């Protein structure tokens, strides 16, 4: 629903809304939009001969890469290889090897001379939670504390520093300075560059690696590295085969069997990508996709043409979480209500005894919270009410849907998700609220222009404008600063010693990245869904030519 101030469960990845009847129209059409993908994914079948051969080859290549990593141990080449492996989206094959290698990189504490390597080392370590000091960049500054003039022609060094600087936390002024310095220099250098380096700089300036989803970038780097003169053939071949192999046909086919699964299935999968794509998370994917779909269907029901009275009854029924409450619902809402309860019930049945019931209990709880938040926004919308910033965020951080999606993503994971992790979500920790804040703010900055043309609940921007008496551009700028600040806090939380394993925190970070990626193309609702559709096609449909 782009029309209300919305959440990831709504606008961005959906096909444009159908021309629905208004409030008084008697024949309310089905709330389910038809999928833009038709039966494509259900009828798709894989060619086993081909995939078996690929799988064997992937096994060989993996061994080869492991040997190469050992041979490169302790060298700069080793760090470059790790970086390539990560950019190509195949790092999950080498988790142990990479962890081991980086432990050594950290302990060896080598002080390299060139900016490119110093920044690469810094970023690789920060990515894994090592709290390396940003003082390593001091030697690249002059007596006045500015980055040295001489660096201005070192494109690769600048690019490496640029990417590293987005791992900064509050108080790391060097990294703030590095961000503006490199941004400025790279932007002006762009006019003189061409070839793969220009492509890479352009890509980075659009959005840094810290805010990107590695797996979505795999295709980009595959074609980029292919153009590099000294690319690593082994890693590249592995990346291509791996990309083609993991297109989740089996998962998608399975999910498609669920009654409400047809619509938005693919879009749900796309979002789930932000959570986990690795093969071992099949159960988790399946759960996230189903919950995502439910969330987005409910979101649709709270669209402008939803009658407030009906929505209120629906919200109350959800709070009761009891099939007998269905009788009080208007006819058109019953299938959705039924779907919510039965889906969560199904999920509960799929869990192991030790995982019940604390996992689904929280899932139910977060579903209720989400729907209550939707209802409050509808009320603002109906009353034309512009809440204060604080009031706004109290509701809109919940309607952003990220607590709901984070919970859903934890439900299907393995033992690393303990009961403590679920209890932690309940405490509304800053880390999760920062993630929700980024989601909400990025959404409101980017979709604001479009939404102004339709009735909608006040966005954060409008609340900010009213409260501080500033113009829209000033408010937008302030809100961008809030996003930057929230990212710094999230970065800090991911540094060792972490409260929970990084594998868990990564789900939240990746979800947050997802909103940045989606809204990178958020210059308009229709255009947005076209861009996203292309991305989905490249992820799920078109194989890479070998």
- Of 277 and 404, the one with the shorter C-beta distance to ligand NAG is 277
In the complex, which residues of this chain contact ligand NAG (CB under 6 A)? 91, 127, 213-215, 273, 277, 506, 510, 523-524, 526-527
- Minimum separation from the CB atom of position 355 to ligand NAG (A): 23
- Minimum separation from the CB atom of position 524 to ligand NAG (A): 3
Q: Six-digit token pair at 5?
A: 């101030």
- Minimum separation from the CB atom of position 489 to ligand NAG (A): 17
- Coil, strand or helix: which one is 435? helix
- Coil, strand or helix: which one is 141? strand
- Minimum separation from the CB atom of position 516 to ligand NAG (A): 13
- Of 37 and 277, the one with the shorter C-beta distance to ligand NAG is 277
- Of 217 and 377, the one with the shorter C-beta distance to ligand NAG is 217
- Of 87 and 440, the one with the shorter C-beta distance to ligand NAG is 87
Q: Evaluate whether 478 touches 441 at the Cβ level (below 8 Å).
A: no
**Residue with the shortest CB distance to ligand NAG:** 524
- Of 88 and 336, the one with the shorter C-beta distance to ligand NAG is 88
- Of 379 and 506, the one with the shorter C-beta distance to ligand NAG is 506
- Minimum separation from the CB atom of position 215 to ligand NAG (A): 4
Between CA 335 and CA 70 the distance in angstroms is: 57
Neighbour tally for 45: CB within 10 Å: 8
- Minimum separation from the CB atom of position 449 to ligand NAG (A): 9
- Minimum separation from the CB atom of position 214 to ligand NAG (A): 4
SS (H, E, C) 456-490: CCCCHHHHHHHHHCCCHHHHHHHHHHHHHHHHHHH
- Minimum separation from the CB atom of position 526 to ligand NAG (A): 5
- Of 250 and 453, the one with the shorter C-beta distance to ligand NAG is 453
What is the full DSSP assignment across 316-335? HHHHHT-GGGGGGS-GGGHH
- Minimum separation from the CB atom of position 513 to ligand NAG (A): 7
Cis bond upstream, residue 164 (ω within 30) = no
- Of 140 and 431, the one with the shorter C-beta distance to ligand NAG is 431
- Of 215 and 290, the one with the shorter C-beta distance to ligand NAG is 215
Rg (CA), the chain: 24
Q: Evaluate whether 230 touches 236 at the Cβ level (below 8 Å).
A: no
**Cα-to-chain-centroid distance, residue 320:** 32
Neighbour tally for 206: CB within 10 Å: 10
Between CA 81 and CA 86 the distance in angstroms is: 9
- Of 17 and 524, the one with the shorter C-beta distance to ligand NAG is 524
- Minimum separation from the CB atom of position 238 to ligand NAG (A): 15
What is the full DSSP assignment across 241-254? HHHHH-S-HHHHHH
Burial class of residue 259 (count of CB atoms within 10 Å of its CB; 0-12, 13-18, 19+) = exposed
* Partners of residue 147 on adjacent β-strands: 141
Cis bond upstream, residue 357 (ω within 30) = yes
Between CA 99 and CA 144 the distance in angstroms is: 38
Nearest partner of 298 among 356, 344, 348, judged by Cα = 344
- Of 36 and 326, the one with the shorter C-beta distance to ligand NAG is 36
Between CA 228 and CA 231 the distance in angstroms is: 6
- Minimum separation from the CB atom of position 268 to ligand NAG (A): 15
Q: Evaluate whether 285 touches 272 at the Cβ level (below 8 Å).
A: yes
Between CA 76 and CA 119 the distance in angstroms is: 12
Q: Evaluate whether 254 touches 23 at the Cβ level (below 8 Å).
A: no
């Amino acid at each position: 629903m782009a029309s209300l101030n919305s959440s990831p469960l709504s606008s961005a990845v959906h096909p444009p809304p159908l021309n629905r009847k208004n409030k008084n129209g008697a024949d309310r059409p089905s709330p389910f939009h038809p999928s833009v993908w038709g039966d494509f994914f259900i009828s798709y079948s894989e060619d086993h001969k081909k995939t078996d051969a690929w799988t064997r080859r992937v096994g060989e290549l993996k061994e080869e890469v492991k040997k190469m990593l050992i041979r490169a141990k302790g060298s700069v080449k080793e760090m470059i290889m790790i970086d390539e492996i990560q950019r190509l989206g195949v790092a999950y094959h080498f988790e142990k090897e990479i962890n081991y290698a980086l432990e050594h990189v950290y302990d060896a504490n080598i002080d390299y001379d060139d900016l490119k390597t110093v920044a690469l080392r810094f970023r690789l370590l920060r990515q894994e939670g090592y709290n390396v000091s940003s003082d390593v960049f001091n030697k690249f500054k002059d007596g006045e504390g500015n980055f040295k003039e001489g660096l201005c022609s070192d494109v690769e060094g600048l690019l490496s520093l640029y990417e590293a600087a987005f791992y900064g936390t509050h108080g790391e002024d060097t990294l703030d300075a590095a961000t503006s310095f490199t941004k400025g220099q790279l932007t002006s250098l762009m006019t003189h560059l061409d070839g793969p380096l220009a492509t890479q700089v352009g890509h980075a300036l659009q959005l840094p690696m810290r805010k990107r989803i590695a797996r979505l970038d795999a295709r980009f780097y595959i074609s980029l590295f292919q153009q590099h003169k000294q690319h690593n053939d082994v890693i590249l071949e592995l990346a291509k085969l791996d990309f083609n192999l993991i297109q989740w046909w089996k998962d998608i086919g399975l999910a498609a069997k669920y009654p409400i699964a047809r619509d938005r299935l693919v879009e749900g999968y796309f979002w789930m990508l932000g959570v986990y794509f690795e093969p071992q998370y099949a159960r988790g994917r399946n759960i996230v996709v189903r919950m995502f779909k439910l969330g987005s269907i409910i979101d649709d029901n709270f669209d402008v043409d939803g009658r407030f009275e009906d929505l209120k009854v629906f919200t109350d029924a959800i709070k009761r979480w009891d099939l007998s409450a269905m009788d009080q619902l208007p006819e058109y809402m019953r299938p959705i209500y039924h779907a919510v309860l039965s889906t969560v019930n199904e999920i509960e049945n799929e869990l192991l005894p030790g995982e019940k019931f604390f996992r689904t209990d929280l899932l139910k709880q977060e579903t209720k919270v989400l729907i209550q938040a939707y209802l409050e926004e509808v009320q603002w919308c109906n009353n034309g009410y512009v809440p204060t910033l604080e009031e706004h965020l109290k509701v809109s951080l919940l309607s952003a849907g990220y607590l709901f999606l984070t919970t859903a993503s934890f439900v299907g994971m393995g033992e690393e998700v303990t009961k403590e992790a679920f209890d932690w979500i309940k405490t509304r920790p800053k880390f999760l609220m920062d993630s929700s804040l980024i989601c909400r703010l990025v959404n409101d900055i980017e979709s604001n222009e479009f939404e102004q043309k339709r009735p909608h609940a006040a966005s954060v921007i409008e609340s900010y404008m009213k409260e501080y008496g500033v113009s829209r551009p000033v408010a937008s700028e302030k809100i961008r600063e809030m996003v930057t600040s929230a990212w710094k806090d999230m970065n800090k939380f991911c540094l060792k010693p972490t409260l929970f394993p990084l594998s868990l925190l990564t789900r939240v970070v990746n979800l947050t990245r997802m909103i940045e990626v989606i809204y990178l193309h958020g210059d308009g609702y229709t255009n947005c869904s076209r861009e996203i559709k292309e991305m989905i096609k490249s992820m799920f449909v078109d194989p890479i030519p070998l």
